[in-house]
Structure 1
Amino acid sequence: MRQSVRQPVRSGAPVPAAVPAPRAAAPAGSRRLVELDVLRFVAAFAVMAFHFMAASRSLWDEFPTKLFEPVARLTTLGILGVELFFLISGFVILMSVWGHTVGEFAVSRVSRLYPAYWFAVLVIFIMYRFSGVAGFDPKLSDGEYLLNLTMFQGAFGVGHAGGVFWSLWVELRFYVLVALFSLVGITLRRCLVFLAAWTGLALLAEFTQNETLVFVFMPRQAPYFIAGMAFFLIHRFGVRSGALVPWLMVAAGYGMSLHAAMERVGERVRLIGIARYPAPPEAVVVAITLVYLLMAAVALGWLRWVRWRRLVALGALTYPLYLLHQTVSAVLIPAYRDVVDPWLLTGITMAVSIGLAYLIYRLVDKPGQRWLRARLGALLGRSRRPRRGGGGRASGTAATIPVQSPEASVP
C-alpha cells in the first residue's frame, strides 16, 4: 500500500460519547506500513510454493507432495495465502476509501489493478497461441481472452485466462460493496453497522446456499474482508474502552474463516487423499490463527519496528508475481524436470518468477498505473477536490482521514 497521510481531528467537531476518540493522528508524511508489504510478499510466496510444490501434478507428472515430502505439510497450507491477501485487502481498502469520493476510489482501484493485469492476459494469450507450452492452458477463444481483459469474465461464466484470476473477481465484488457503502458516508458507527450486517448476511448465504446471496455476500471470503476492515478500525481508533465491537467483528470473522478454510482445504484432501495432500484440520486451524495474529500485530502497532525501506519493493512486486508465477512454471518445470533436480528447479523457477515480477513492476505496472490514473482522473474532472457535505467523508466521528490510495493487497 502507498504511504498513508493522516491529519489531526478537526478542532471543535464533537465526538459522540459512544464512539471512542481516534488516537492522535500521525503527522503529515507518516511512515508507510512496511509490515503490510512484507505480509503481502509472504502471502504471494506461500501461494507460489503451493502451486509449485503441492498442487500442480501436471507440472511434474506426479504428485509434488511426494517430491517435496519434507515440506509438504507447509506447502499444502500455502493455498491459504490468498486468504491472507483478503485480510490485508479489507484493511487496505477501508483505509483507501475513507475520506474519498466513490470516483476517487474507483480511479485508485482501476489504475492499481489493470495495467499489470492487462499485461498478464496478453502474455498468457501469446504464450498459448504461439508456443508449444501446454501447462495451465485455459483453452479460451480469442473473444474470451478479450472478455478477460475486462476482469469481469466471471460474471459471464467464461473461464479465467490465469488460474489465480478467480480471486480478482472476488476482490472486484468486494470493491463494489465498499463503494456502495461509501455513498452513505463512512464513519466509525456506520462501519460497525456495515460489518455486522455483512456478517449476518454472509452467514445467511452460507446456511441457505441461495445463489444470489452467495454471489453478493461471498460467505467463504467475506470473513477475511470483514476482519481486515475491523483490524483497520482498531489500527485507526486504537484500543480503548467502548471499542470492543471491532474486536467482536474480528472474532466473528475468525470463527467463520476457520469454517471456510477447513472446507476449502478439505475439498482437496477429499479429492486426492490425506496421504497426497497432508493438510489435516488442526494444521488449517494453526495457519488461520497465525494469519489473524499477524494482522492483529499490524493493527496494534506491534510490527512498527519493520522499517527497512528496501522491503517496500517486496510489496511492489507482489501483484505481478501473483499474476504470472504459474505461467513461468508452465514454461520451465515441464521443460527441465527430467534433467534438473526438483528442488533446484523449483528454486530457479521461483527466482525467475520474482525477478520477472520486479521487471514487470518497474517497466509495466508502475508507469501503467501513473498513466491510467492521470487519464481517469482527467475523465473524472477533478483531482481530490473536496466534497461538500458529509457523504463519503468521515463525518459524525469528526475523524477525517485523507489517505493516499494504498496499493491493493490483492494479489
Structure 2
Amino acid sequence: MGAPGRSSEQDSSTTARAVVAPRVELAGANLLRTIAVLAVLYSHISFYLIDDRGEGWWVIDVVYRVLIEDAGLNNHLSFVGVAIFMLLTGLLVTRSAMRQTRRDFAVSRLSRLVPALWVSIALAIVLVRLGINGMFSGQPGISNSEAALSFVLGGFFLKPEVAVLGVTWTLTVQLMFYLYCVAARDLLRKWPVVVPLLGAALCAAVLVYNLYIPQPWSVPMLSKIAATLPTLFLGQIIYLGWARIIGWRMVVVGVLAQAEVVRLATDVHAYWAGDQYLWTIVVVTGLVLLLGRYDGRIGNLWIVRWTGTRSYAIYLVHTLILYRVYENVVPYTGPTGAVLAFVLVTAGVSEAVYRWVETPAATWLNGRLRTGGGAARRS
C-alpha cells in the first residue's frame, strides 16, 4: 500500500476519534467477570455431577435451593455466566466500534480472542486423539477436516454438529456481534439506537426462518446465535444510555425489543435449559447495572483482579480439565476435594495461557496490524 492509502487511513482514524462516544468507567468489570466465571464453572460442574455421574454435592443443594428454587434462575445456573460475559462485551466494545476504524476495531478484537482460541482448540484435538478426553458432540473422534473447521468455529454449523471444545460456541456469537458492529458502523455513529433495534429484528427473522424452513435448509446454530445476541445488544443499550448518547425512552424501546426476541426464542425452543431465560437475563442485567460502576474493596481484591483478567483463558480451558481431574481425584478426596483440585489445575493452565499466549499475542498483533499507532491503542 502506498502513502496515499496510509494517509486515508489516518484521516479515517482521526474522524473516528471525533465521534462523541464518552468513556464510561466500569470499575466493577472484574468483579462481574469473576461472578461470571464462578457461574460458568458451577454450571459445568453441576451438569457433570447430576446429569453424567448421577451424583450430588452439598454446594449444588445450596445453589439449587437459593438461586434456582427461590430466585427462579435457570437450572444448573445455565446461561448466567454467559449472559454476564455477553452483556459486558456489548457494554465495553460499543465505544470502540464507534470511535475506531473498522480495521483497528477488528484487529483489536481478534488479536485478543484468536491466539488463545487456537491454542485451546489444538489442545482439545490432541486430548481427543490421545483418548484422554472425548468430544463435546456425539462423535467418537475428530477427522482432519473437522479439526481444521474447528479452528474457525465451523464445526458448530455442520449437521450433525461437531464440537471438540464445546464452550467456544459463545465465540461465534461474539464474532457475529463484532461483524455486525463493523458493518453497521456508520449507523452506530449517526443513529446509534437503530443498531440494537435492527439487530433485534434480524435475530427475530433468523428464529422465524429456522422455525418454518424445513431441513436441509435450516441452520440450527443460527438460532442459538440469534437467541444469545440480545444480551450483547442489551449491553450496547446500557452503554448508550450511561453515556447519554440516547435518552431513556429509546433505552426502554431498545430493551423491550430485546426482551421480545428472548420471548420468541423461548417459545420456539431455541434455548437448551428450560424456559427461565428471560427472567435470568433480567436478573443478570440488574446485576450488571448494580455492580458495573462499583469501586469498593471487594472489587479490588487480588483474587478478583486475577480472575477477571484471566476470565477468557479460564473460560477456554476449564472443560478440558474438569472431567479427567475430577474422576481421578474424587476417590481419594470426595467431591469437594476433587472440585478444589480442578480449580487449582485450571488456575495454573489459565495463567499460562494468559501470560504466554493471550497477552503477548494481542500486544504483538496490535502493534503490527493496527493503523492508529499508540493513540488508537489507548482509545
Q: For the superposition of Structure 1 and Structure 2, which TM-score range results when normalised by the shorter chain? A: 0.7 to 0.9
Query: Residue 33 of structure 2 corresponds to which residue in structure 1?
Result: 40
Query: Residue 62 of structure 2 corresponds to which residue in structure 1?
Result: 70
Query: Residue 364 of structure 1 corresponds to which residue in structure 2?
Result: 357
Query: Residue 372 of structure 2 corresponds to which residue in structure 1?
Result: 383
Query: Residue 262 of structure 2 corresponds to which residue in structure 1?
Result: 257
Cα distance in 2, alignment partners of residues 383 and 111 from structure 1:
15
Render the CA deviation track for 1:22-62: whole Å, top value 9, x for unaligned.
79x56xxx9x6231222122112211111112345576x32
Query: Residue 293 of structure 1 corresponds to which residue in structure 2?
Result: 286
8 Å CA contact 1:38–1:315 kept in 2: the answer is yes
8 Å CA contact 2:136–2:164 kept in 1: the answer is no
1:159 shift after superposition: 1.5
Render the CA deviation track for 1:295-322: whole Å, top value 9, x for unaligned.
23356x4x24466274433222101111
Q: Unpaired runs of 5+ in structure 1?
A: 1-8, 14-21, 270-279, 387-401, 406-411
Confirm or deny that 1:331 pairs with 2:332: no
1:184-199 matches, cutoff 5 A: 184=186, 186-187=188-189, 189-199=190-200
Cα distance in 2, alignment partners of residues 131 and 213 from structure 1:
29
Distance 1:41 1:114, change over 3 A: same
Q: Secondary structure at the match of 1:350?
A: helix
Cα distance in 1, alignment partners of residues 45 and 220 from structure 2:
34
1:7-406 matches, cutoff 5 A: 33-55=26-48, 61-64=53-56, 68-73=60-65, 74=67, 76-134=76-134, 136=136, 139-155=141-157, 159-182=162-185, 184=186, 186-187=188-189, 189-208=190-209, 209=211, 211=218, 215=222, 218-237=225-244, 242-257=247-262, 260=265, 267-268=272-273, 281=276, 286-297=279-290, 301=293, 303-305=294-296, 308=300, 310=302, 311-377=304-370, 382-384=371-373, 404=378
8 Å CA contact 1:202–1:222 kept in 2: the answer is yes
8 Å CA contact 2:28–2:295 kept in 1: the answer is yes
Query: Residue 6 of structure 1 corresponds to which residue in structure 2?
Result: none
Cα distance in 1, alignment partners of residues 42 and 136 from structure 2:
16
Q: Secondary structure at the match of 2:226?
A: coil
Tell which has more relative contact order, 1 or 2 (C-alpha 8 A, sep 6+).
1
8 Å CA contact 1:230–1:247 kept in 2: the answer is no
Query: Residue 398 of structure 1 corresponds to which residue in structure 2?
Result: none
Render the CA deviation track for 1:257-286: whole Å, top value 9, x for unaligned.
3664687797445xxxxxxxxxx84xx565
Cα distance in 2, alignment partners of residues 333 and 304 from structure 1:
36
Distance 1:213 1:323, change over 3 A: closer
1:290 shift after superposition: 1.9
Letter aligned with residue 160 of structure 1: A
Cα distance in 2, alignment partners of residues 195 and 236 from structure 1:
16
Render the CA deviation track for 1:341-364: whole Å, top value 9, x for unaligned.
112211221232133212321122
1:162 shift after superposition: 0.5
8 Å CA contact 2:233–2:258 kept in 1: the answer is yes
8 Å CA contact 2:34–2:308 kept in 1: the answer is yes
Specify which structure has the higher proportion of helix.
Answer: 2
Q: Secondary structure at the match of 2:331?
A: coil
1:111 shift after superposition: 0.3
Cα distance in 1, alignment partners of residues 267 and 328 from structure 2:
35
Alpha-carbon RMSD across the aligned residues, in angstroms, is 3.6
Letter aligned with residue 34 of structure 2: F
Bigger mean CA offset, 142-151 vs 45-54 = 142-151
Letter aligned with residue 82 of structure 1: V
Question: Sequence identity, in percent?
Answer: 21
Letter aligned with residue 383 of structure 1: G
Render the CA deviation track for 1:316-342: whole Å, top value 9, x for unaligned.
210111111111112201223333211
8 Å CA contact 2:153–2:169 kept in 1: the answer is no
Cα distance in 2, alignment partners of residues 365 and 180 from structure 1:
26
Give the alignment's TM-score, normalised by structure 1. Answer: 0.71
Cα distance in 1, alignment partners of residues 264 and 49 from structure 2:
25
Render the CA deviation track for 1:375-398: whole Å, top value 9, x for unaligned.
433xxxx33599xxxxxxxxxxxx
8 Å CA contact 1:98–1:186 kept in 2: the answer is yes
Cα distance in 2, alignment partners of residues 385 and 375 from structure 1:
11
Distance 1:199 1:403, change over 3 A: farther
Render the CA deviation track for 1:230-280: whole Å, top value 9, x for unaligned.
0010121178xx4420232123324543664687797445xxxxxxxxxx8
8 Å CA contact 1:121–1:148 kept in 2: the answer is yes
8 Å CA contact 2:57–2:335 kept in 1: the answer is no
Letter aligned with residue 118 of structure 2: W
Distance 1:216 1:383, change over 3 A: farther
Q: Unpaired runs of 5+ in structure 2?
A: 1-16, 68-74
